[in-house]
Each structure stands twice: as C-alpha cells, then as structure tokens.
C-alpha cells in the first residue's frame, strides 16, 4: 500500500502498513489512521486475551517478573503497576538519539506489530501509538547501548514517552520532558494494560524500521554508483569486454547491472587490451550489492509478517518465542554492509586509476598544471581515508555475545549496532562516490570525451563537464552546481554539494 504526500491512509489490516507506507510515515509525508473494522477486531482479540489472563497460570512479564526474576510472582497490586514500571527501570539510555525519521520508523513498525493478534494489544494502545505519530510527538530513543536480547532499552524509552514519564525530541532534536509535550499536542498519557507493556518491549521494530530506510537508501546509492562506473569507463578508456551479456547468463542481478552499463550506445574504443581489475570487477560487485539489498528487503518482509511477541498469544494460550532476537535482519544487514564497503574500496581504486595519465590520456593527477596545482590527488586521499574507516563497520554484529541478566540473557543479536554499521557505510560510500564524481567533472573539463551515450551523460556545467547522469535519481541536480574551473580550490565545498544531491536523491 502506498500513499501520496500529505494523504491520510486508513489501515484496515496489519499488512497495509508495509515498507512503503512505513517509509512514508517515517518521512512525515503520510498520516496513518486505524479503520473501524480493524479497531473492532483488536477489541475482540483483546477480550480473548483478558479472558486467558483471568486465572492463576503464570504468564511471563504479566504476573511474574522478567529475565532472571521470572520466578517471582506478582500480587494483584504489583500487577496493576507492573506494565508501566517495566518502562521506567529499563529507560537507561541517553544521547545520541535516533533522528526523528528513524524514531518515527520504529513507531510505525511497533504499531504494525501491535496490530498482530499475537501481541494481544488493545485498540486504545494502538490508537495512542498512531496518535503520537499523527501529532509528531516523537520519543527520544537512544541510538546506542542496546545490550539486551532484543530492543528492550530503546523500546522502554518509547514506552516511557507514551505514558508521560519519558522524553521526546524537541524541534532541535534535543530531549525534553514528554508530559508537557503530550499536553501541548492535546494528548493524554497512556497507561499500559495487562500484558501491553511486555508486548511493547518485545520484538525488533527499531531494527526493522531502520532497515526499511537503509534498504531504500542503499538501492538509490547502488543505482548512482552504477552510473558513475559507466562514466569512469569512458574517462579511463576501459574495455567493455567484461560487460558481455554472456557473463550474466545465470545471474539476474548481474544481467540488470550490465544492461544498465551497456545502455543504448555502441562500444567504446579501449585504451588498453585489459582495463584495471577495479574496473573489470565493478559490475559483479554491484550485482552482489543488489542481491544483498534484496536479501535485506526479504528479511524485512519476514520480520513484518512474523510473530515477534514473547509471550505471544497463540491459539488461546501464551507461548514464549525467540522473535525478539532479530537474527535474520542482523545477518542480512551485515551482508549488505560488507557489500557496500567493497563498493567503496573499488571506488577508491578506480579513482586512483583516473589520476594516471597512462590510463586516461589526460594530465597527471587530473591537474591542469601538474606540479603547480595538485588536481585530484588530495580528493583521492580523502576517499582512501573514508574507505579505511568503513572497514571497521564490516564486522558481523551477530558475533560477540555477552551474558546479562544473571545469565538469563546469554546471547544478543545487537540489532541497533547492525543498523548503525549499515548507516555509517551508506554515508561513507556516498562520500567516496562524491569524490569520484568530482574527478569525473575535472576530467571532462580537461578534455575527456563527453560522447558517452552508454552512460547517459550530458553536461554538468553547461557545455563543459561530464556528469549530469540523465535519468539517475539525485545526479541530474548537479547541473550548474560545480565551478567550470580546473584550478585548485577548496574542493571540500564541491564535495559537500555533491553529497547533498546524492543524499536527497
């Protein structure tokens, strides 16, 4: 289900709140409401949950403690307070906070999870979460330090804001008391009913929501890298032999990349029998990244459709689960992270080749006056430094369990850490790509051929320049934004312009 900007969408079933709508809600361009029929179904399911709780059977986190204290039974008074108390004692995080868009993505996925019958949530709880999003009252949710089996710490912060004892983000992104913010928005603090606090703390809505945003950003970035690779082949006079369609016979992602790289144009005249390896292997690396993005999207779909509550209300009884672990998403995010790091490394290598006069036939270091002006050599050094930094984020977040909760939680999937690594690498690859685009611009001004129909290239700065990548999101906006000069200048300012255009897509 998709919605246009400023449209109010009524959700009739949990499936309506899919990745597209989650991204739109995160961006604040869509407001989501709950249809009357869905609210009625929630009320009916909630009645069944309350009936199942009416007895002396122990139910984890409802009439017992949690973690290593699950053997402690709660009396009636403690049970009444327990669901709210769960939020207070677990709100141990602090800045840096998730951005507003990322926190909204978490809330959107949390709403999707609570709509599932297994959560046993009331229509009132779901309506209150939707109201937070609608009023743009966004909890201050810590971006780091979630060393639990699941996302208990960040979700406790979201729940504490909902009940009025936590914090929300002000317009400057700083944490402020939730109570006054709720009152200003015309909202009343919510009080969690039986089992609702436990349901709010379970699952991986944070990692799921962050993955939705990152998968979309990665798709855009991979398309942009593909366009840049095509342009670099022109400047480097690289052979198009590695783009032969036969090489993709058993690989649909590679076939898609090669079709894009070849485009409608004829073959370029190579400057050497064999191009540098970084050019020859770029297409397979792009295919790997595309496949990894698809795997993350598939894992997102499984997370949205799966049962993440524990205990889950299934077939009239409460069943413990492992849906809070997020193992599938963490593994998929790590695979995409590694693939994007590799693209950054290849970008640095291709950029270095563009500084070689023997490869391009242009001046050394793409300097208009070698020895007087440095050209692109320091731009390449920046790219190398960024790529080196990205390597530290390629470590698998699944590795490295630490015992907590007196041994009750002896393994963590570290989902927020996996999301942070992916986000850092997306930003870093964008930085490296900006360095490559600036070098292409410099090369075109120094006389590289602009006759590149295969890359869909026209002009970056009027009649001169090589990089308005027609039809590629986020690159057409470069036209006229960079100086038509090859002389040394503070190139970092140019890179900032390119990065902003790449990021906004």
pLDDT in tens, 39-61: 999 999 999 999 999 988 898 88
Cα 155 → chain centroid:
18
pTM (two decimals): 0.92
340 versus 398: the higher-pLDDT residue is 340
Assess whether pLDDT exceeds 90 at residue 478: no
Whether residue 107 is predicted with pLDDT greater than 80 in this model: the reply is yes
Task: Tell me how far apart the alpha carbons of residues 146 and 204 are, in angstroms, rounded to a whole number.
Answer: 11
Mind listing the pLDDT tens digit for each residue in 123-181? Answer: 999 999 999 999 999 999 999 988 888 899 999 999 999 999 999 999 888 999 999 99
Q: For 324-377, what is each residue's pLDDT tens digit?
A: 889 999 999 999 999 999 999 999 999 999 999 999 999 999 999 999 999 999
Say yes or no to pLDDT of 72 above 50: yes
CA gap 223, 428 in Å, rounded: 16
Residue 266: the pLDDT is 56
User: What CATH class has 211-441?
Assistant: mainly alpha
Strand runs labelled E in 209-350? 312-314, 317-319
**Is the per-residue pLDDT at 118 higher than 50?**
yes
DSSP states along 234-264 = HHHT--SGGG-GGGGTT-HHHHHHHHHHHTT
With bands split at pLDDT 50, 70 and 90, how would you rate the model's confidence at 470?
very low
For 303-332, the pLDDT digits (tens) are: 999 998 889 999 999 999 888 889 999 999
Residue 232 structure tokens: 């670099």
Contact 105, 156 (CB under 8 A): no
At residue 504 the predicted structure's pLDDT band, cuts being 50, 70 and 90, is: confident
pLDDT value of residue 69: 84
In this structure, the chain runs to a length of 505
Q: Looking at domain 7-202, which of 3.40.250.10, 3.40.640.10, 1.10.10.10, 1.10.275.10 is its CATH number?
A: 1.10.275.10
Q: 472 falls in which pLDDT band (50, 70, 90)?
A: very low
Domain segments of the chain as ranges: 7-202, 211-441
pLDDT exceeds cutoff 50 at 196: yes
């Amino acid at each position: 289900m998709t919605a246009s900007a400023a449209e109010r969408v009524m959700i009739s079933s949990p499936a309506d709140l899919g990745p597209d709508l989650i991204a739109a809600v995160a961006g604040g361009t869509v407001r989501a409401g709950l249809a009357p029929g869905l609210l009625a179904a929630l009320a009916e399911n909630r009645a069944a949950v309350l009936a199942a709780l009416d007895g002396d059977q122990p139910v984890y986190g409802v009439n017992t403690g949690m973690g290593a204290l699950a053997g402690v039974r709660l009396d009636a008074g403690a049970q009444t307070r327990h669901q709210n108390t769960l939020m207070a004692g677990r709100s141990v995080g602090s800045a840096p906070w998730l951005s507003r868009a990322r926190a909204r993505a978490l809330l959107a996925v949390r709403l999707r999870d609570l709509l599932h019958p297994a959560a046993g949530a009331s229509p009132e709880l779901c309506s209150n979460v939707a109201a937070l999003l609608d009023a743009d009252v966004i909890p201050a949710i810590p971006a780091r330090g979630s060393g639990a089996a699941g996302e208990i710490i960040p979700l406790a912060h979201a729940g504490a804001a909902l009940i009025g004892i936590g914090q929300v983000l002000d317009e400057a992104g700083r944490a402020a008391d939730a109570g006054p913010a709720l009152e200003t928005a015309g909202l009343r603090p919510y009080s969690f009913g039986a089992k609702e606090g436990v349901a709010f703390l379970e699952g991986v809505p944070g990692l799921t929501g962050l993955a939705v945003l990152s998968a979309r950003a990665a798709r855009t970035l991979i398309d942009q890298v593909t366009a840049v690779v095509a342009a670099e082949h022109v400047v480097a006079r690289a052979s198009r032999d590695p783009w032969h369609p036969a090489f993709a016979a058993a690989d649909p992602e590679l076939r898609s990349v090669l079709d894009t790289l070849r485009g409608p144009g004829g073959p370029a005249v190579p400057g050497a029998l064999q191009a540098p390896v970084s050019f020859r292997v770029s297409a397979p690396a792009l295919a790997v990244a595309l496949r990894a993005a698809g795997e993350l999207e598939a894992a997102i779909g499984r997370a949205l459709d799966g049962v993440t509550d524990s205990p889950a209300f299934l077939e009239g009884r409460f069943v413990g689960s492992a849906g809070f672990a997020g193992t599938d998403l963490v593994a998929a995010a790590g695979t995409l992270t590694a693939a994007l790091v590799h693209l950054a490394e290849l970008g640095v290598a291709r950029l270095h080749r563009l500084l070689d006069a023997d490869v391009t036939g242009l001046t050394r270091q793409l300097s208009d006056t070698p020895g007087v002006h440095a050209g692109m050599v320091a731009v390449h050094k920046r790219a190398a430094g960024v790529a080196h930094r990205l390597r530290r984020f390629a470590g698998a977040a699944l590795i490295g369990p630490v015992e907590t909760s007196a041994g009750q939680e002896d393994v963590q999937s570290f989902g927020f850490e996996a999301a942070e690594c992916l986000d850092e690498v997306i930003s870093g690859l964008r930085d490296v790509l900006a360095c490559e685009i600036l070098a292409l611009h410099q090369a075109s001004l120094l006389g590289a051929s602009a006759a590149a129909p295969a890359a869909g290239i026209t002009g970056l700065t009027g009649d001169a320049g090589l990089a308005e990548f027609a039809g590629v999101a986020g690159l057409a906006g470069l036209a006229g934004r960079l100086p038509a000069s090859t002389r040394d200048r503070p190139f970092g300012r140019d890179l900032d312009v390119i990065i902003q255009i790449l990021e906004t897509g």
